[in-house]
Amino acid sequence: MRRAISITVLSALAGLAQAENTNTFDCTNFLQFGTNIDQTRAAFNKSPETMAWNWFVCLNQPVVQGSPDLEWETMKPSDQVYLPNGAAPGTYDHRVPPPDQVIAQAKAQGMNLTRTIHNLNATQQVDGLILQMGGAVPADQKGQAVRFQLLMGKDTYDYILQRKVYNMNGQSVLPDNLVFPSTAWELKSAWLWIGTDTAYKQTLTNDGYYIAQAYYKNDDGSYEVGYAALSGLHVINKLTPSWVWTTFENINNRKYTVTNAPSSKPMTNTTGPTPAAQPVNTQFQTTYPALSKYELIGVEYQPINQVLANSQLESAFQSTSSCLACHSTAAYSRDDGYFNFALTHTGGITYPTAPLPESDFAGYKKLDFVWSLKRAQWQR
């Protein structure tokens, strides 16, 4: 049984702090939106930023009392959904253990083998570029990429299995648009690689980063095993028809990540925290010291023209980043492949900040905002 979290928050309207009130949020069954989804929607509509923080707090509690893993760490990683051979991935609760080489290194390093070891298997952002580490990172990490991992909740996973769209074979014969259940969740995490540098690990711990066990595969087939620090987290669910898009960052990211310009500068977020998020950040950061170095950048849920980005996940195109608008283009055509949401603009490309007209998707099957399906492979 999860404990209820009692917090005092300031409701935010148009970015201004209004009357102070007491809000009690129960983490029990929160991934199903408790016992009454309509009550959750009503509370969300009253203050989306407060609900975003409630979810963030619940996700960062131990999955069960005494567990070394947080709630979100036990979600299904995408590499165990979209398999290289396009095969059916099995049940949600089945977890593929890390490779033997990873386990051997982890054991030699004295890691907790009952705790999750995250596979940080991605470095490219949507625009195909990487975000570089720099600034106060150790010399051997300068210029190295921030790493990413995508995870999904049980109802997201089960729907993918039900519709058989975990491979390209299933997507190519879709008879209609996908419609995920309202209790679907996805998370995308960004990580600063630490490796085995204990001094650097302590520095990041002191700066309020959550430290996890992790690994990734090198181009030559060998594995790097060590620790990583959570620098950003997208948290999305389908409480509303256009999904709810929330994003969090560590406030110290500018010290450890830099722009890709020839003369690099500290990486900052140009889209937030939004005025509505700022007072709610203050309240939750005060109430939850362990999460006090993370801040909500903002919330998207209305299909309107808007910009919201995570500096760790959309670093180079923040001014044209809208999670909702880009994901609303998730679609597949048997003849033309995946919909191309990159728009030509003054000799270059940009990305939509408002949903495109439905006429643009003639001949496509809509994937209900879930671009992770693009990771599917053909079953041969």
Two structure tokens written together for 367: 């994937």
Strand 365-366 to 16-26 pairing: unpaired
Length of the chain: 380
The rounded distance, in Å, linking the Cα atoms of 368 and 179 is 6
3-state helix, strand, coil in the chain (%, to 5): 25, 30, 45
DSSP codes of every residue in 89-131: ---TT--PPPPHHHHHHHHHTT--TTS-EEE--B---TTS--P
User: Considering only CA atoms, which of 377, 379, 378, 371 is closest in space to residue 338?
Assistant: 371
In this prediction, residue 147 carries a pLDDT of 98
Q: DSSP 3-state assignment of 355?
A: coil
- Residue 180 falls inside a structural domain: yes
In this prediction, residue 351 carries a pLDDT of 80
- Residue 296 falls inside a structural domain: yes
At 225, phi and psi to the nearest 5?
A: -130, 135
In this prediction, residue 314 carries a pLDDT of 86
Bond prior to 99 in cis (omega within 30° of 0): no
In this prediction, residue 347 carries a pLDDT of 67
The rounded distance, in Å, linking the Cα atoms of 282 and 115 is 31
In this prediction, residue 9 carries a pLDDT of 35
What is the 8-class DSSP label of residue 146? P
- Residue 380 falls inside a structural domain: no
For the chain, 380 residues long, the average pLDDT of each consecutive 10-residue run is: 42 34 80 96 98 98 96 98 96 96 98 98 85 96 96 98 98 98 98 98 98 97 98 98 98 96 90 97 98 98 90 80 89 95 73 89 97 95
- Residue 340 falls inside a structural domain: yes
Lookup result for tokens 């925290």: 273
- Residue 350 falls inside a structural domain: yes
Domain that holds residue 198: 4-375
Q: What element of type H or E holds 170?
A: helix 168-172
Q: Quote the number of domains for the chain.
A: 1
Bond prior to 273 in cis (omega within 30° of 0): yes
The rounded distance, in Å, linking the Cα atoms of 341 and 272 is 24
DSSP E strands: which ranges in the chain?
4-13, 16-26, 76-77, 117-119, 132-133, 147-152, 185-195, 211-217, 223-237, 244-250, 257-258, 294-300, 331-333, 337-338, 343-345, 348-350, 365-366
In this prediction, residue 10 carries a pLDDT of 33
- Residue 71 falls inside a structural domain: yes
- Residue 120 falls inside a structural domain: yes
Lookup result for tokens 């947080």: 70
- Residue 265 falls inside a structural domain: yes
In this prediction, residue 23 carries a pLDDT of 55
CA dihedral 317, 245, 232, 94 (to 10 degrees): -120
At 36, phi and psi to the nearest 5?
A: -145, 100
Question: Taking phi first (over 0 means left), then psi (-120 to 50 degrees means alpha), and beta for anything else, what does residue 66 get?
Answer: left
- The end-to-end CA distance of the chain, in Å, is 44
User: Considering only CA atoms, which of 189, 149, 132, 127 is closest in space to residue 320?
Assistant: 127
